[in-house]
Amino acid sequence: MSGGTDSSGAGNAALTRRWQGALMDNFGTPRLPLVRGRGTRVWDAEGVAYLDFVGGIAVNALGHAHPSVVRAVGEQIASLGHVSNLFIAEPTVRLAERLLRLAGREGRVYFSNSGAEANEAAFKIGRLTGRPHMVAAAGGFHGRTMGALALTGQPAKQHPFRPLPGQVTHVPYGDTEALRAAVTEDTALVVLEPVQGENGVIVPPPGYLRAAREITAATGTLLVLDEIQTGVGRTGHWFAAAAEGVEADVVTLAKGLGGGLPIGATLAFGPAATLLTPGTHGSTFGGNPVVCAAALAVLDTIEQAGLLEAVTRAGARLRQGLGVPAHPLVREVRGAGLLLGVVLEGEVAGRVQRAAQDRGLLVNAVAPDVIRLAPPLTVTDAELDTFVGGFRAALSETLEEALTTA
Ligand code: PLP
């Protein structure tokens, strides 16, 4: 890793100091300033290149500076940049129609600016059923705003902000019987991620989402699937739950949908689609035409370039490369498509992340013993192979270091 100083104030160390002086410390200091990106590659403030397998945390579906997104944004901002929710912009309507077509069902869409907001809208839809109770999964992550935080099943993130709204019961993820026991006719909604991304890329047992659908249908409870991390092709499907044939009442999207621009989308079907009525919810920027044009470019490119199939192939190649031959530091590679968690033998993810970065590879230590990989859906075979070689070397270096210091 490069860490030189630069009197112009734009080198890695100088930018880091400026960040520390000007930004609130809610994230802790980020590990590296980045100044430029192209496809799967990014460059830091001193011109060092990295293969980016973080992808803005599963956001950059088409990588950096994809020509289709650049063109769509440029054309839209040059013609109509913002209209507010007092007027109609055509790209907003087109994106809503397109998302409903991809879902293959009749429904309605509410647009916002982030994943948390997409889930806030789902929370409000739940409230409008008149039922007081909600169920979510322990370890689940649904965002940091107060409603989304109430659904997030991570007590340390909730603790300083209690009391949180709503009566939310958290049940163990993947445990069908615990879910069945928690859901009653007072339960407005059950919210689940098809794969728990922030909790360490945890895949539930087969049939769990289908069981959740049956349990919620029996009590008239809304099933909300948070596809903010798993949707828009990340797992090789437009919606990860589609792989199990599960149709939710509400689906939330964000991250990959905007191709790097901020967007949230709450898709609702059946009676849930008409619970928000005039005056009940809103956002100044939600449905902004520039952001919607970018999202349309993302969806067009995924379709035209056959990226759903490409993701399935790339994910299999990455798994194979990381698993064969078995590396002594790797316990398991789990996940779906291009959302993978490399589970390590021991809490050394931070060390592996640093060793990888020193070799020009950006990865995310999502848990003390898990590295999350979420490269662009456009990642090439050559990039995957370069990554696997460098990452295995980073694993070996970490293992040697651990053995010599043990
Ligand atoms: N839901 C899931 C499954 C997520 O992974 C995230 C973010 O990581 C969110 C919600 C919150 O999204 P945002 O950070 O855009 O508010």
Which numbered atom of ligand 1 lies nearest the CA of 262?
15
Ligand 1 near 131 CB (within 6 A): no
Ligand 1 near 56 CB (within 6 A): no
Active-site residue, 124 included:
no
Query: How remote is the CA of residue 349 from the centroid of ligand 1, in Å?
Result: 21
Residue 8 has pLDDT above 60, yes or no: no
Residue range 261-282: mean pLDDT, rounded:
98
Residue of 53, 111, 123, 141 marked active site: 141
**What pTM did the predictor assign?**
0.97
Atom 1 in ligand 1: residue holding the nearest Cα: 142
Q: What are 116's two structure tokens?
A: 């948390």
Residue 172 has pLDDT above 50, yes or no: yes
What distance lies between CA 93 and its chain's CA centroid?
A: 24
- pLDDT score at 243: 84
Residue range 395-405: mean pLDDT, rounded:
93
Q: Per DSSP, which regions of 193-325 are E strands?
A: 222-226, 250-253, 264-269
pLDDT per position as a tens digit, 292-324: 999 999 999 999 999 999 999 999 999 999 999
Q: Are 64 and 52 in contact (CB under 8 A)?
A: yes
Q: Name the pairing type of β-strands 49-52 and 361-362.
A: parallel
Active-site residue, 141 included:
yes
Which DSSP state fits 196? Answer: B
Q: How far apart are CA 229 and CA 297, in angstroms?
A: 19
Q: Per DSSP, which regions of 21-174 are E strands?
A: 34-38, 41-44, 49-52, 107-112, 133-137, 167-171
Active-site residue, 226 included:
yes
Residue range 30-41: mean pLDDT, rounded:
97
Query: How remote is the CA of residue 159 from the centroid of ligand 1, in Å?
Result: 18
Listed residue (243, 242, 264, 262) closest to 253, CA to CA: 264
Ligand 1 near 76 CB (within 6 A): no
pLDDT per position as a tens digit, 117-162: 999 999 999 999 999 999 999 999 999 999 999 999 999 999 999 9
Bridge partner list, 265? 111, 253
Query: How remote is the CA of residue 141 from the centroid of ligand 1, in Å?
Result: 7
Residue range 89-108: mean pLDDT, rounded:
98
Residue 4 has pLDDT above 60, yes or no: no
pLDDT tier at 105 (50, 70, 90 boundaries)? Answer: very high
Residue 215 has pLDDT above 70, yes or no: yes
Residue 104 has pLDDT above 80, yes or no: yes
Residue of 44, 52, 111, 226 marked active site: 226
pLDDT tier at 10 (50, 70, 90 boundaries)? Answer: confident
Burial classification of residue 218, based on how many CB atoms lie within 10 Å of its CB (0-12 exposed, 13-18 middle, 19 or more buried): exposed
Atom 10 in ligand 1: residue holding the nearest Cα: 142
Which numbered atom of ligand 1 lies nearest the CA of 264?
15
Residue 405 has pLDDT above 90, yes or no: no
- pLDDT score at 9: 82
Determine the residue type at 126: G
Percent of the chain beyond pLDDT 90?
96
Q: Are 342 and 370 in contact (CB under 8 A)?
A: yes
Ligand 1 near 394 CB (within 6 A): no
Alpha helices in 275-346 (DSSP H): 289-304, 307-323
Torsion angles phi and psi, residue 191, rounded to 5: -115, 130
Residue range 156-178: mean pLDDT, rounded:
97
Q: Per DSSP, which regions of 32-102 are E strands?
A: 34-38, 41-44, 49-52
